[in-house]
Structures are given as structure tokens and as C-alpha cells.
Amino acid sequence: MGLTPKLLLVVVFLLPGQRANVQGQIVMNTTTPSTTGTKVPSLAQSSTTQTPITTSAAPFASDDNQPLITAVTAQDSPSTGVAEASGVSTPPLRPIPGGSGDSNETTPSISLPTGPTSSTTGQNGTTQAAESTTAGTTTSPKCSDIKVVSGDYTYIDNMATRTLELSGLNNGLDNIKITGTPELNVTKSSMSNTSYIFENLRICEIYNISLTDFQCSPQHYIIPQIWNVPPDPNIFTLNKTENSTFVTFMWDIGNDDENCNLSYKYMCRNEGHSFNWDTPLSQDEVKGFNPNSTYSCDATVLHANEIIKTMKENVLTDFGMPDDVMGLRCIPRASDDQMIAFEWSYPKNSSRGIDGYIVECRDKKGGASRNIPGEVVPLLEERNTANFSCYIGEAYTEDTVSVQAFKMSRYKNDSRIGGSPVLLKCRTNSSRPDLVRNVKPFLETSNKVKITCNQPNKIKGPKTEYILHFDGKSYNKGKCDFHIKDLSYLREYSYELIFSNGDFRSNPYRGSITTKYNEKALIGFLAFLIIVTSIALIIVLFKIYKLQKRSSSDSDELCELVPRDDEKQLLSVEPISGDHLLETHRRKMADEARLFLAEFQSIPRVFSKLPIKDARESYNQSKNRYVDILPYDENRVELSLISGEQGSDYINASFINGFKEHQKYIAAQGPKDETTNDFWRMIWEQKSTIIVMVTRCEEGNRVKCAQYWPTLETGTLTFGNITVVIKEEKKCPDYIIRKLQISNKNEKTPERDITHIQFISWPDHGVPDDPYLLLKLRRRVTAFSNFFSGPIVVHCSAGVGRTGTYISIDAMMEGLDSENRVDVYGFVVSLRRQRCLMVQVEAQYILIHHALVEYCLFGDTEISVPELAISLTNLKKKDPSSDPSTLEAEFQRLPTYKNWRPQNVGNKSENKDKNWSPHVVPYEFNRVGIRQDDDYSTENAEDSDDSTDDEHDYEDSTKYINASFINGYWSPKAIIAAQGPLKNTLSDFWLMIFQRKVKCIVMLTSCTEENQGSCTKYWGDEKQTYDDIEVAVKDVSKSQSYTVRLFEVRHAKRKECRKIHHYQYENWNPQELPKDPDGLLTMIQNIKQKFPHNTTQEEGKLDKHSPILIHCRDGAQQTGTVCALVNLLQCAEAEGAVDVFHTVKSLRKERPGFVTTFEDYQFIYDTLAMVYPAQNGQLKKNSTQADHVEVVSETGMEQQKRASLNLEPTQDNGHPEDKESATSANGPVDTGPKEIELKIE
């Protein structure tokens, strides 16, 4: 029948008392199963074990390797026969019911002839049963002649089929009965009378099958079969992932049944190395490999310990970890105290090879890296050493540098295999220390002086020594505590106090102190003087008393005759709806804001009927900063009384009602040194959690407010019973957020968290030019508010002007959101009834209206960085599809600011040929001028870059160039936006760069010599001279998307030589946007790292900085987009939020032609979303940001200008003409014109 023997099933029956171990095999065949069959009734499944049975030492009596099946009589033990198939042991062969082995079977018994039996032992030691026959009895077929052969499994739809062949039968299959569990589908083969076909066998199922022969002599018996059906080998596929020391093998096993007893075996070898790995997992990391080595592996799948499939795989492991770098050492930098430099050598074992180095610099606390973590230093083939520098920004500061070699992974793109980092501590050079602080000279006696001071903020050196020069003598001490005695009486002494750090000395602090008179000599004279003065004083007081008594009676009569009524001077001003707010504002601003002025002047400064007695008590007067700004008695904040202290319940602060909420605010004066304890007592007792400070501590050399919080250096300050701890300080250009924690030592309540928000961009005189700053401040305050907070404490210096302005904007915006109307006049009147002089000047009153118009027109367009990707998706949606998207509607609301400032110089006839485009001409207020005087001072060149509309002298003394100062995120005039130089402006271009001390040029276009491309080339391969400026290219390096050049620039009349870095981004065609902004972003990041901003030295003061020059062809198209990206990326890093709309709106006011198309506007959004992708509301980006530069920017002193808002509909041919969407997700509905123009006259 074409059977191919593979395995033999050996079934052995033993006589009573005998045991044998038999290991069986199955002989498979490939008989094609029948397509029809009948169900076989199932039997109760017998208990089986999967432990393999060892073969007996006695050999089988078989010459042809066919199974020997031995029958047993009814007297045989039913437990002595054993068979095994597919690695699973089977129950013993047992007699059918009716024998002596079992009387409980339900199968009908069959009578068999009985007679004496004997057993014989064959030559091979196998016990065989011999049947004795009696005379006259017919002989039945011998059981030993029956052979069982099992065929291969075949698979269809995850079900198996198998053929079972029986031979040695006398009458074929007629006398065979089949039972089994689970239920079987068995048919007789149509091709053979001795074959069964078992169909629909489930994968990994164990089948117990019994075949009963009723004709076998001497007695019929049961032939058991146990099949553990294996999975189909063809479903197994193998994948692998190589790593350095392990390989992940992954078997795809299709629809694997959970009951399958699968295991896996791997044998891998190469020259001199081999190992095995067994695992029950289909996916496992096989370990034991050597890096960068080739192996040949056999991967095997086993089912019930039987091999199903074996595959051969060749493995090449990934590179291993490089060795440590050698000789890492610090390099001294003699001329630089802001940076550390270090160098190292190639790793010792160079045979492994490396691709570069990863360098980090971390501060002594192990905080964030000062450089970008993972800064890659390329490997230079011709050198076996490398070096790197980190900008620390502070002298005598220790940082830990880390250098590790890396090798690029063979299999993972852009993945580096780093070695162990080698660490080294390096320190910047020492430098001149800061001035000593808080110098306090005072007289211990009339002729004995004591001088103390605090240590400088920054020592910048290894030692601490104080040097005092006093009256020609010098005193040195390690502690600032000097005592000088035996001085002359009534004499002024000058002194100098210097701090030394061992290497440098600070600038001297100079002061003077005057000794007193000899007190003993004065006693007699003073006694006489006191007596005389007392007599005179008594006389004067008596006369004053009489005069007051007479005048008071007269004034009482006058008060009765002429009573004062503050209410009569008030006007009747109707509330303004949001729909008419712009129109009303424009009407009231006409004629130099005459209507606003009339409204403001009609409001009483103080409501005289409200009593102010407590603030005027003698013991409270010293607590008031200004004698005329006092709280009313009825709503002043009362502190808890302190026993024995008169006036201990008083503080200059008033409860203020909000738009709807009672006592939502506390308006307070800025604390004085003697009232800081009371201020913190008020915060604790009122349970306030937010303090809004709308002033700086000092403005215009005047103290506006005492500093009532600790710095990060001091950490903790105590004010009476209140302890204040600073936890965090976040600095932004316009505000500083501090996280404070306070506790009361007299109470057991837990500490409380306080958020302190200080607005630092209010100018010394006037009001902020851009009301957006106050709208952003309100958003920050609102973000920290919660239902359980106490009143919001708002203060400036006096607690009325700026304080009232902020409270009015906050309350009126709440009214605009809830009722779509505002009553600014009525609310300011109510403020004055609660605290005098609230909203102190007319400019503040107009600013409130201006802020509300700004909000009503443009809405809130700020988006937090984690929500940027989702918000952008929603902004791009169109509903219906024919309408503009929300993003398009937002772009159409942007004012164009056409001709909003004079452009006189650029439009002169002699300067028109210096402009690329007549539409991009710089405004006068921020135009960059070039001084024509060759004897200018390089020291004050930085200070002379301002220009105004009316500076005719300045216009005459400077040459014109098409360039504008652009405000950066951290500081004003941080960027120069310029057009690409023309042939006739090359010398002016370089002179501007030299005069303005530019250190970095960003070029966003290509250039040609013929002046026909996007820009005239303003450098050469050799040294070039442009009038007095010499330019030489010293180095050129190229990346995939941009080129970096190092220029060396000299002035012919100066000895100074400057190095200028030139970045040219060439993947930007003026006709289309970059398809992939990755290169542009990388360039911006590298520039920021190369030229970091200086941090603040003092509150509100900036270090001088060099502007970055950015140019394209006309200085507007690409330049405006990059300026917006630079500012927005810095804002996202500092504040965690971006406002593309306001950023572009502000840039449009600084130079014409900035971001004029919707495509540019959307490109900015898309680029930001690519930098900050989000998933499930969390930032997906995991790269550490570059070093966080914190600079507090404050506007300098400016004369307050009265502004008028003139908004007129305009039309731009480059913009869509579609009607704006009626609704906006980013703010109030704009029902005005499609496009507005903002003018300040």
C-alpha cells in the first residue's frame, strides 16, 4: 500500500507476575483519507502520563524491525502492557470485557474458546503466548500476527487527518471495533479493507483510541493507541533581531492552541564557540553571543519533546560597546572665565573602531546638562585626540564633564552604541568678584565705628577676604566685621571696602561716616537748652489750642451750610456691548481722547463721606507708604490683634469686590520694611494663595516695594511667626513666577503653597504699549486660581493705580465672557468707593478699554505645548468644507499695519535703489542706522542704535541701509532683519555688521555674482575688502541642509579683529516653503547653543548683547518666518505655551512684509507641531532641551504717549477674500471687517 515505515508502535502483553519496559514507535503511512465517515462513540478517557518509557534490556524477537504484538490471556494482569506514541506513554493493553481483568465494561462480551495455555520465550528474550488447542477445535488467527501502522498527519484548516493500517487480520476489519475519547470521526478507507481514516483531529489534542479484535486467538484483546496531535510544521516561520550579545528569535506560530506543549531549542556555533539555549517561549532573547561575530544557528520547534521543525539561520551580531576614552583632562583657558575646555585620546583598544564621541557637561548638583545632552563630537580620522568646550556662564564654577565613545549600530538607524562614560571635574577660571552687599556702618559709641557687610553674590574664586581702607590704614579679615575705635569727635571719615577671592579683588565700595560730639561735654548744655525750649513750647501750644478751638466752631457752621456731595459730579455712562466695543472705543479716542478724559475726571478721587480714621491714627501712620493713599475703615483688611501692641490689627489693604464675587481681591500697598510681617500675617489669616505684584522693587532709582520673599540663594526668611520658603522660580521676559511655601510656628496647620506672580514689564512712567502683556498676565493668574483659594492679593507700590488697572481688566473680561458687555466707568466708580484713587491716571483708564478691545477682536490664541498637535488638527478642520478653516479665519484677523509708521528715509529718491522691493522699506522707529563718523567709539556704538520718527539730526548723520531692529523673545533689538545686500550696498552691509558688533549672520537664500539670483555674494574665497572692512573666510563646514562659515573681519582703522559665524540655509526656494524643516530647526538650535543669551544680573537689567542678523533677499519673506520661529521656540521652552497669532501680529508692526501669506502662517504652526508632537495629551518628544536661558526684560523709561486705536477695513490681494467664519474656537466672535489695520497716532 506504499507505506513508508518511520516509527513502530510496540505493544507488549506480559504474563501474570512479569513486568517489562517497552518503548514503542509508530509506523506512519500516507494513505489518502476517505471523504466520508462515521462518528465513533467516545469512551471515558483513561489516565495517562507523559513520562517516556525506557526500553527493556531484553531484545524484541523480530527480524524485520516490525512490531511484535503479544497477546495475553484472560488471566493476564491488565496493567502490564505499555505503548507510546508521539512522545506520550499509553495505557496498557487490556483484555476485553468478559475476561478476568474487568467486569464493569459496557461493551458486550464475546465468548472465546478456553483451554490450557503456555508461554514460551523466544530467542530474543521476548515472552510470547502459545495457545494449546484441543482436538476438534478450529484455530483462530494469532494475535502476534496483527501489526498496526500509523500514517503521517495531513492538515486542512487547522485540523489533522491520519490513516491507521492493520495487517495480519483474517477477515479484514469486519471483526474490529473502535472506541476512543474525545469523540472521533473514523471511516474505513475506500482503497483498502485494512485501513481506517481518522479525520478532523484537533491540533494539540490527546486522543485515546482502542481497537478490539474479536477473532484473535487465544482470546480477543484491545489494541490501545494514544495520539498527541502535533501542529502543522508549515505554519512555523522564524524572524530574528540581532543585538551585540544576544539575538531575539521570534517564531510566528500562527493560530497556536494554548494547550500545545511547545518548546524551542537553539544551537549556535562559530569558530571556537558554541552553546545551546532551551526555552518554552516562542519569542526569547538568546544570550551568549559575542559582539560583532558571525554564528550559524539551528532553531528547532518541539511538540511534546518531539521535533516538529528545524531551521538554519546565519547570525551577525551588532557592534559591541567601545572602550573608554583615554587621557581625559581639563585644558586651561587663560583668557576666558566663562567656559571649560577638555581633551581626550582615542580608546585604548582601537580594533573595535568608533564613530564619534558623546559629550555632556553637568553642574555640581548633577542637574540638567549645560550643553545639549548627547552633543556629538565627530571623529577626525587624521587625529587620535579630540577636544570640546562648554559654556558655563560663571567664573570659578565646577562642572562634571562626561565623554563616551560610540559606534553606530549596524541594524538600528541613528542608534548609537555608547561605551562607559569617563567623568572628570573641571572648573572655570577665577574672576573679579562682585561688590560686597548690605554694607552697614554705624557708631558703637561717639568715636567708635563698626562696619559690617554681607558676602558678594558671586565670589568667583577660592578664598574669602575682606579689606577695609579706613583713614589711611588697611584692615584684613576673613569675616566682614570691623571695629575702629579712638576716632576724633565730630569728624567725617571716608572708607573703602574691598572683597578679595585670592586671585582678584572686587571694585571698592566707598562710603563715609561721621562721629558724634562728645556726649559728656554736651550734657550740661543740653539740659539748659531743654528747659528753655520746653517753656517756649508750652507757650506756643497754648496759643495753638485757643486758635483751633475758635476755628473749629466756625468750620462746623460752614459744613452745615455747604455740605459736599461727591455723587453729583458723576456722569451717566451706559455699559458697552461687545459688538459695539470697537466702535465706541474709536469714538471716544477722537479729538485727543476728549470723551475718555471727561469720564475719568468726573470720578471723585476720594469719596469724602467714607470715614478714614484708623489709617490716620498716629501709631499707624508710619505703616503707610503715601500719606494720601489710605484705606476706608469699612472695608479695610483687619488683622488679628496682638496683645499689648496698639494698631496691630492695621495694614494698608482693602477688600475689593469682583464682577460678581464678593471680596474677590485684596488691593494692598507694596510692603515696607516695617510692614512685611503684617503683610504675611494678612496672607496667612485670609488664606490667600495667589499674590500678583505689578511693580519692581526699584524703579527709576526709587524704592517702590520691599522685597518680602527669599531668593533662591537665601532659601528661607522668617517674618514674625511666618516662615517663607522659596521652592521654585521661573523667569520669563515679562513676569516671574515664584512658588513659595509658608508656615506659622504658632499653629499646627500644615504648610500652605503660595504662587507669587511678579509683572516686570510695566514701564517706570506711563503704561505698557501692548495690552496683550496684561491679558497674558491674567491668563497666568487664572491658571493658578481655584475655588478654595482666599482673596487674590494684588499690589503695586501704592496699591491703587496699576492694582486698580489689573483688577478692572480681570473683572471686565469676566463680564465680557458672561454677558457680552462691559461697564468700565461704573466698575471704576465702584473701585473708588472701596479704595481711593483706584485706576490713578487717565492712561490707565484708556488702557483698560484698549485691553478689552484687543481681547474682543482677537480672542485668546495661546496654546499649551502638549495640546499643540491636537489643537492644530482642530484649527485646520472645515465645517462645512466650503467655509474657511478656523486657522484661515485666525490668519485673516491679523492686522496688516500698512503704513502705520513713517518710512521717510527709505523712500527718499537717493535711497530707492538701495531697496530690493519698494514694498519692504524699514520704519523709522526701529531702522538700523550706519554712522558715517569714522571716529566713533566702539564702546558706545551699542548705545546709539535708537531712532525715532522725529530725529532729523540722526537721519542726517547716518547712512541708510534696508535693515530693522526686531525684538527677540528675551530682549528688545535682539535681531537685525535685513535684506540681502545689493552691489551698491556691500560696503554698507559690512559696516553695519561691524558697528553693531554682530557675531552671527543667518542667510536664508542663495546668491550669485551676477546679482540676478536671490542675493549678491558678499564674501570671496580669498580675502575681500569692502571700503574699510576686510573679510576673510577662515573655515567652511557643510551639513545636509546648511553651510557654516567662519569670517574674520577687520576694520582698516582699528586693530580689533572679530570672528563672525555665517549660517547659510539653502533649501528654501522663495516660491515654495521647505518640504522638510528639520535642517532649519537644527540650524536654529545650533545657533542658540553657540550664542546663548546672558542671564539677568539684577532685576530688570540686561547685559549688553550682540544682535543676530537674519536676511533673505528682501529681508521679509523668509526672514519674518524665521524670526517668528526663533521667538516661538524660545517661548515654548520658557513658558510651555505658544501664541503664533500674537507673535506674528507683533512682528508685522516691526517690519513690512513679515508673514504675509497663509501658507507661511500655517508653516509656522506645522513646524512647531513637529518639534512638539503629542500623544494622549503628553509630549512625545523625549530629547532634552538646550540650556534654559532666563533673562528678565523690562522696558526702559519712556515718555507716556497717548494712543488712539484706528481700525479700518483694508484689502490685500495676496489674501483670500472668503468671509470669516462666524464662530471661533480661540476667542470671541469677530463680527467686524475681514481685515483690520491698527494705527497709533
| DSSP secondary structure of 1153-1209 | TSS-SHHHHHHHHHHHHHHS-EETTEE---SPPPP------------------EEEE
The pLDDT value recorded for residue 517 is: 76
Taking a C-beta distance cutoff of 8 angstroms, is the pair 172, 193 a contact? yes
Indicate the pLDDT class of residue 879, thresholds 50, 70 and 90: confident
Measure the CA–CA gap between 291 and 411, rounded to whole angstroms: 13
Q: Is the pLDDT of residue 557 over 80?
A: no
Residue 1240 Cα to chain centre, angstroms: 39
Taking a C-beta distance cutoff of 8 angstroms, is the pair 245, 234 a contact? no
Q: Report pLDDT digits (tens) over 272-315.
A: 788 899 998 888 999 989 898 899 999 999 988 889 999 999 99
- Whole-number percent of the chain with pLDDT over 90: 49
Number of helical H runs and strand E runs in the chain: 15, 63
Q: What grid cell was written down for 1044? A: 557654516
Q: Residues 6 or more apart from 21 whose CB is under 8 A from it? A: 53, 54, 55, 56, 82
Measure the CA–CA gap between 649 and 981, rounded to whole angstroms: 69
Residue 900 phi, psi dihedral angles, 5° rounding: -80, -15
Q: What grid cell was written down for 877? A: 478642520
Q: What is the DSSP string of 1213-1228?
A: TTS--PPPPS--TTSS
Check: CATH 3.30.2130.10 for 593-858?
A: no
Strand positions, DSSP E, 835-917? 863-864
**Amino acid identity, residue 239?**
N
Measure the CA–CA gap between 299 and 268, rounded to whole angstroms: 9
957 compared with 152, residue with greater pLDDT:
152
Q: Report pLDDT digits (tens) over 205-262.
A: 888 988 887 776 655 666 788 888 899 888 889 999 999 889 999 998 876 666 788 8
Q: Which element (helix H / strand E) includes 344?
A: strand 339-345
CB count in 10 Å sphere of residue 668: 26
Q: Report pLDDT digits (tens) over 371-404.
A: 445 567 776 655 678 888 888 878 888 889 999 8
Q: Residues 6 or more apart from 1064 whose CB is under 8 A from it? A: 1003, 1042, 1043, 1044, 1045
Q: Is the pLDDT of residue 653 over 70?
A: yes
Helix (H, G, I), strand (E, B) or coil at 1132: helix
How do the domains of the chain map onto residue ranges?
A: 38-228, 233-316, 326-427, 437-517, 525-563, 593-858, 1005-1090
Measure the CA–CA gap between 25 and 196, rounded to whole angstroms: 19
Q: Is the pLDDT of residue 33 over 80?
A: no
CATH superfamily of 437-517: Immunoglobulins (2.60.40.10)
Q: What grid cell was written down for 951? A: 530725529
Domain 233-316 - what CATH class? mainly beta
The pLDDT value recorded for residue 118 is: 38
Q: Report pLDDT digits (tens) over 418-470.
A: 888 999 999 989 999 999 999 999 898 888 999 999 999 889 899 999 999 99
Q: Could you tell me whether strands 735-744 and 752-759 are parallel, antiparallel, or unpaired per DSSP bridges?
A: antiparallel
Indicate the pLDDT class of residue 1094, thresholds 50, 70 and 90: low
Measure the CA–CA gap between 773 and 779, rounded to whole angstroms: 10
If you average pLDDT over every residue of the chain, what do you get?
A: 79
Measure the CA–CA gap between 835 and 782, rounded to whole angstroms: 23
Q: What is the DSSP string of 510-546?
A: EEEEE----HHHHHHHHHHHHHHHHHHHHHHHHHHHH
Q: Which element (helix H / strand E) includes 270?
A: strand 262-270
Measure the CA–CA gap between 1195 and 1201, rounded to whole angstroms: 14
Helix (H, G, I), strand (E, B) or coil at 1024: strand
**Amino acid identity, residue 711?**
T
Q: How far is CA 422 from CA 323, 393, 405, in A?
A: 10, 23, 9
Taking a C-beta distance cutoff of 8 angstroms, is the pair 402, 321 a contact? no
Indicate the pLDDT class of residue 1200, thresholds 50, 70 and 90: very low
Taking a C-beta distance cutoff of 8 angstroms, is the pair 297, 238 a contact? no
Active-site residue identified among 268, 1112, 1123, 1131? 1112
Helix (H, G, I), strand (E, B) or coil at 1065: strand
The pLDDT value recorded for residue 219 is: 56
Residue 1112 falls in the annotated catalytic set: yes
The pLDDT value recorded for residue 188 is: 84
Measure the CA–CA gap between 248 and 470, rounded to whole angstroms: 79
Q: Could you tell me the pTM of the whole model?
A: 0.54
Give the number of C-alpha atoms closer than 13 A to the C-alpha of residue 552, restricted to the C-beta side: 6
Can you tell me the mean pLDDT for 596-614? 94
Supply the DSSP symbol for 145.
G
Do the first three CATH levels of 233-316 and 326-427 match, i.e. the same topology?
A: yes
Taking a C-beta distance cutoff of 8 angstroms, is the pair 247, 286 a contact? yes
Q: Report pLDDT digits (tens) over 955-965.
A: 456 799 999 99
Angle at 168 between CA 167 and CA 174, to 5 degrees: 80
Q: What is the DSSP string of 449-500?
A: EEEEEE--S---SS--EEEEEETTEEEEESSSEEEE-SPPTT-EEEEEEEEE
* Nearest alpha-carbon partner for 27 in 68, 79, 74, 73: 68
116 compared with 697, residue with greater pLDDT:
697
Indicate the pLDDT class of residue 191, thresholds 50, 70 and 90: confident
Q: How many angstroms separate the first and last alpha carbons of the chain?
A: 110
124 compared with 830, residue with greater pLDDT:
830
Indicate the pLDDT class of residue 1237, thresholds 50, 70 and 90: very low
Strand positions, DSSP E, 830-949? 863-864, 930-931
Q: What grid cell was written down for 540? A: 506756643
Q: Is the pLDDT of residue 138 over 60?
A: no
945 compared with 971, residue with greater pLDDT:
971
Q: Is the pLDDT of residue 622 over 70?
A: yes
The pLDDT value recorded for residue 548 is: 64
Q: Is the pLDDT of residue 83 over 60?
A: no
Helix (H, G, I), strand (E, B) or coil at 1074: coil
CATH number for the 326-427 domain, one of 2.90.10.10, 2.40.50.180, 3.40.50.11540, 2.60.40.10?
2.60.40.10
Point out the least confidently predicted range of 76-85, 88-97, 815-824. Answer: 76-85
Q: What are the beta bridge partners of residue 216?
A: none
Q: Residues 6 or more apart from 673 whose CB is under 8 A from it? A: 706
Measure the CA–CA gap between 944 and 953, rounded to whole angstroms: 13
Indicate the pLDDT class of residue 1229, thresholds 50, 70 and 90: very low
**Amino acid identity, residue 1128?**
L
Strand positions, DSSP E, 1084-1126? 1108-1112
Measure the CA–CA gap between 847 and 837, rounded to whole angstroms: 16
Active-site residue identified among 143, 216, 260, 796? 796
Taking a C-beta distance cutoff of 8 angstroms, is the pair 165, 1 a contact? yes
Q: Is the pLDDT of residue 109 over 70?
A: no
